[in-house]
Amino acid sequence: MTVEQLQKMIAQAKKENDVCILAHSYQNREICEIADIVGDSFKLSVEAQKVQNSKIVMCGVHFMAETAKLLSPEKTVVIASDEAGCPMAEQFTPEEVLAFKAEHPDYKVVSYINTTAALKCVTDVCVTSSSAVEIVGKLPDKNILFIPDKNLGAFVKSAYPEKNIVCWNGGCPVHGAMTAADVKKIREKYPEAKFLVHPECPPEVCENADYIGSTAGIIAYARKSDAEQFIIGTEISITEQLSYEMPTKQFFNLSKRLICSDMKTTTLVDVYNAVCGKGGLEITFDEDTAAKARHCIDEMIRLGG
């Protein structure tokens, strides 16, 4: 069977089973093509609320499917690849956060959305990479614990030197592995190219970038810019997506090591099976966890617009 034939079968099965397919932009191209909604974490969170279908199939990582379920408790939510976790999401435990809160009751806990539902239960407000700076700016609080990504935390901190933002030592193993040497090498090769980078990369990588922002922000910058060449400092699927969308411009990976193996575990066959109810993993929560974990996502959507 060809990719196209399988995509047609998914399109048909989607209608028969009243399914909406959500895909994060780091998914492979053939999956983005059959998704109803493709976007970054913030877009998927917002859109998950509006979906009318009785079932959502999430092509992304586990915390994204959890977020969709928290926002649509009445729907069946299935993650297409049950192996797709995000290593960053589990770097800290709720007990560690509660211990910090007990010692520092005047701190607000701000968590990147790349966290487990259990961590969200002890979080005051969630952020995504595209909403972090805006949302932290709207909080009246001076003292903030920002988890789990210390690089995104440092990026937010640089926008608000007047705030006391404490970061723990967590982060994305993929973006976090980028180095200043990677930047030097590619910038020497393409000196005219604009350098667009995700804030999950270390500060020494983001230094002197032309733009720092989420996947959606990077895509928007490349669309608007008159430049002809771009170095993309995030997951390699974004470089591919941009190259297909704008073939007259040139896009280069900061490094081919920027590949999220968890995102890449999803296959078209996984999607087909999940849509037909024969595969994937259904996300469920007990009522208490659902109510507590949802609060910080609602806060994010309220503050982020």
Binding site for ligand SF4 (CB under 6 A): 61, 86-88, 114, 172-175, 200, 235, 260, 262-263
Alpha helices in the chain (DSSP H): 3-16, 29-34, 41-50, 62-71, 94-103, 117-120, 132-138, 150-159, 180-189, 203-206, 215-224, 236-245, 268-275, 287-304
Member of 129, 237, 241, 266 binding ligand 13P (CB under 6 A): 129
Binding partner at 48 among ligand SF4, ligand 13P, none, C-beta below 5 to 8 Å by kind = none
Binding mask 189-228 for ligand 13P (x = CB under 6 A): -----------x-------------xx-------------
Counting contacts by CB under 6 A, is residue 262 touching ligand 13P? no
Provide the token pair at 257: 């090591």
Q: Between 76 and 214, whose beta carbon lies closer to ligand 13P?
A: 214
User: Minimum distance from CB of 258 to ligand 13P (Å)?
Assistant: 10
Q: Which residue has the tokens 């503050």?
A: 303
Positions 145 through 174 that interact with ligand 13P (CB under 6 A): 172
User: Minimum distance from CB of 60 to ligand 13P (Å)?
Assistant: 8
Provide the token pair at 194: 């604009």
Binding partner at 41 among ligand SF4, ligand 13P, none, C-beta below 5 to 8 Å by kind = ligand 13P
CA dihedral defined by 260, 303, 21, 121, rounded to 10 degrees? 70
User: Residue 165: CB partners within 8 Å, gap ≥ 6?
Assistant: 136, 144, 146, 153, 156, 157
Member of 27, 76, 114, 237 binding ligand 13P (CB under 6 A): 114
Q: Between 24 and 249, whose beta carbon lies closer to ligand SF4?
A: 24
Q: Between 76 and 299, whose beta carbon lies closer to ligand 13P?
A: 299
Counting contacts by CB under 6 A, is residue 40 touching ligand 13P? yes
User: Minimum distance from CB of 248 to ligand 13P (Å)?
Assistant: 25
Binding partner at 87 among ligand 13P, ligand SF4, none, C-beta below 5 to 8 Å by kind = ligand SF4
What does the alpha-carbon distance between residue 57 and residue 76 come to, in Å, rounded to a whole number? Answer: 8
Counting contacts by CB under 6 A, is residue 237 touching ligand 13P? no
Q: Residue 232: exposed, middle, or buried by beta-carbon count in 10 A (0-12, 13-18, 19+)? A: buried
**Cα 175 to chain centroid, rounded:** 12
Stretch that binds ligand 13P, among 70-78, 101-109, 127-135, 152-160 (CB under 6 A): 127-135
Stretch that binds ligand 13P, among 6-14, 46-54, 123-131, 242-250 (CB under 6 A): 123-131
Q: Between 27 and 214, whose beta carbon lies closer to ligand 13P?
A: 214
What does the alpha-carbon distance between residue 166 and residue 155 come to, in Å, rounded to a whole number? Answer: 12
What does the alpha-carbon distance between residue 122 and residue 8 come to, in Å, rounded to a whole number? Answer: 43
Nearest partner of 152 among 140, 229, 135, 186, judged by Cα: 135
Member of 72, 116, 128, 273 binding ligand 13P (CB under 6 A): 128
Find out whether 180 and 205 touch, Cβ atoms under 8 Å. yes
Q: Helices 287-304 and 62-71 sit at what angle, rounded to 10 degrees?
A: 90
Contact residues for ligand 13P, defined by CB under 6 A: 40-41, 114, 128-130, 172, 200, 214-215
